[in-house]
Amino acid sequence: MSIQTVGIVGAGQMGNGIAHVFALAGYDVVLNDLSQDSLNKALALIDKNMVRQVDRGSVSASDKDAAQKRISTTLTLTDLGQTDLVIEAATEKEAVKQAIFEDLTPHLKPETILTSNTSSISITRLASRTDRPEKFMGFHFMNPVPIMQLVELIRGIATDEPTFKACSDVVDRLGKTSATSEDFPAFIVNRILMPMINEAIYTLYEGVGSVTSIDTSLKLGANHPMGPLELADFIGLDTCLAIMNVLHDGLADTKYRPCPLLTKYVEAGWLGRKTKRGFYDYRGETPVPTR
């Protein structure tokens, strides 16, 4: 099927980036969130990030303007009903995602493909609670979406081939590269990445190293572009904890036990960059380690 209009649920870090890349690729985008404030913030961020691309010469000013005109916003979820493809990018909580699909599906066109940007939750289980498990799959973008090349495509047990092909074609049109993962907890990228981040937090928790020594060690010793704690703040500590819980519950192996210090930061509401505090404090000019 041909996809021209895309509905995005959730205008947070991921939702605004997804809207950005789809609009630049010529799709019409309808972006939904719970508050006008979130939608306004998302539009402002899209503008800021596109200005950066224009300044670098990777996008022309006229393409930027045309892309921004293709993005509309709404507080009414059912306004996404007439789109060809829906990407759910709301908070990483199964109950939240399930409620969104329950509210939205009665309003969808029969042919609309429904996808989730979840980092870890079972696609098969999410799909089974909709009216279209065969037209449901995982569409997992990486953060920051305009910069990261990979999109993980995840087939649920019922996903049909035309749906998979349509999503794979969309990734091509976005100029990105897809990798296919089977539907097991946290898929490929986070199955490997998140235990490393969790281990870095254990390393801090057990006093093996400070925030600075852990991040410096991995940057200079393993050639990682960001240290694991810096990366955790970037991803969002609530999202990191949610993914570790999915790995722990889904694979029933103690090696995935979330570090108690990660839980503590989330309990404090120190969720990383998005709340200006996590393993670093971002309220000043330069980030300062919080431990």
Among the listed ranges 79-87, 112-120, 155-163, 167-175, the one in contact with ligand NAD (CB under 6 A) is 112-120
Q: Closest CB to ligand NAD belongs to which residue? A: 12
For the segment 186-215, give every residue that binds ligand NAD (CB under 6 A): none
Of residues 53 and 239, the one with the C-beta less far from ligand NAD: 239
Among the listed ranges 88-96, 209-217, 253-261, 277-285, the one in contact with ligand NAD (CB under 6 A) is 88-96
- Beta bridge partners, 32, equal 9, 74
Per-residue string for binding with ligand NAD, 113-142, x by CB under 6 A? ----xxx--------------------xxx
* Min separation Cβ 42 and ligand NAD, Å: 8
Of residues 15 and 133, the one with the C-beta less far from ligand NAD: 15
Decide: helix, strand or coil at residue 9: strand
In the block, which residue shows the tokens 């035309």?
162
Using CB under 6 A as the binding rule, whether residue 12 contacts ligand NAD is answered as yes
H-state helical runs in the chain: 13-24, 36-56, 61-69, 94-104, 123-128, 161-173, 189-205, 211-221, 228-235, 237-251, 260-268
Of residues 1 and 96, the one with the C-beta less far from ligand NAD: 96
Cα angle for residues 160, 162, 166 (degrees, 5° grid): 120
Cβ count near 33 (within 10 Å): 24
Binding site residues, ligand NAD, CB under 6 A: 9-15, 32-34, 38, 89-92, 96, 100, 117-119, 140-143, 235-236, 239, 274
